[in-house]
Amino acid sequence: MTGADHRCGFVALVGRPNVGKSTILNRLVGQKISITSRRPQTTRHRILGIKSDPQSQIVFVDTPGLHVRQPRAMNRYLNRAAADSLRDVDVVVFVVEGTRWNEDDERVLELLREVRCPVVLAVNKVDRIDDKSRLLPHLDTLSKRFDFAELIPLSARSGDNLDRLEQAVRRLLPESPPFYPEDQVTDRSERFLAAELVREKLFRKLGEEIPYGLTVEIERFRNEGKVLHIHALIWVEKASHKPIVIGNKGERLREVGREAREDMQRAFGCKVFLQLWVKVKEGWADDERALRSLGYGDD
């Protein structure tokens, strides 16, 4: 049962790459919905994270990082996915990083001048600012750049002030019954989450060794008895990338598989048998048709 004053709405998390949007989402929802790594542009799809309680249902929309340079089809797709997420939402949370501000932040701010809903500014990673005396003047400068509904310094890593962000967002939502069942936490399938978990481990293991021409496609996802069998294809852009992903005597691929399988078993609540293959698809990240065939554009 929900009361007459129940609030519900969509809240877009936007910002340039690597400011911590996915970590904020996972913290607020209370479980891993969106993958994270230190590499920019880890998030490639719009992902809903749903937070329900008796008084409200907040539907967070995690988005790819917006960036100025769009040299390839993949970059253009990421920007479109992020910008499109600003349509028809009830609140926008603009996430920035500490005292840093660059041209990508400026691009996001320009897009926000077109939206008609309240915008909350979340200044993330304040725990990493060495000289804390710089924070207040920076916040004052930011407050003069736009008519923000609220400005909240926080740390997604430690959880500091995330409750204040959640409360601010909830106050700005319209009165409405919930859109989703109270036990639903995302709109994405287990098959999608499996592919994302493999990609997360690859990004974390590879560091800067391989470009962003890497994606994961689930070829098989089937329950057999009490075991979930998953076969995943790892697509790379060049033949020279394949041995990098596999590693010496297959060691890196085994580590990726082990860590992804452990995460899947926790997420899906069952035993998982995971097999990984690495294949080459030349230039897929700069080919609109190839992007669509691999699930980019299904948002």
Residue 250 identity: G
**pLDDT tens-digit map of 24-70:** 998 999 888 876 656 555 555 678 899 999 999 999 988 766 655 55
Residue 46 has which token pair? 């719009």
190-293 belongs to CATH 3.30.300.20: yes
Residues across the chain = 299
Burial of 144 (0-12, 13-18, 19+ CB in 10 A): exposed
Confidence grade of residue 291 (pLDDT, cut at 50, 70, 90): low
Return the pLDDT at 104.
Answer: 87
Q: For the chain, what are the domain ranges?
A: 7-172, 190-293
**pLDDT tens-digit map of 97-139:** 999 999 989 988 988 898 899 999 999 999 988 888 888 999 9
Strands 91-97 and 150-153: unpaired
Instruction: Say if residue 270's pLDDT is above 70.
Output: yes
Q: Which residue, chain included where needed, has tokens 């035993």?
A: 271
Return the pLDDT at 1.
Answer: 47
Return the pLDDT at 22.
Answer: 87
H/E stretch holding 58? strand 56-62
**pLDDT tens-digit map of 187-239:** 888 998 999 899 889 988 887 666 567 889 999 999 998 999 999 999 998 89
Instruction: Compute, in degrees rounded to 10, the torsion defined by CA atoms 138, 140, 141, 146.
Output: 130
Instruction: Say if residue 162's pLDDT is above 50.
Output: yes
Q: Closest Cα partner for 156 from 187, 192, 121, 127?
A: 127
Alpha carbons 26 and 62: distance in angstroms, whole number: 10
Q: Closest Cα partner for 292 from 99, 77, 1, 111?
A: 77
What pTM does this model have?
0.79
- Are 169 and 139 within 8 A, CB to CB? no
Kindly report the CATH number that applies to the domain delimited by 7-172. 3.40.50.300
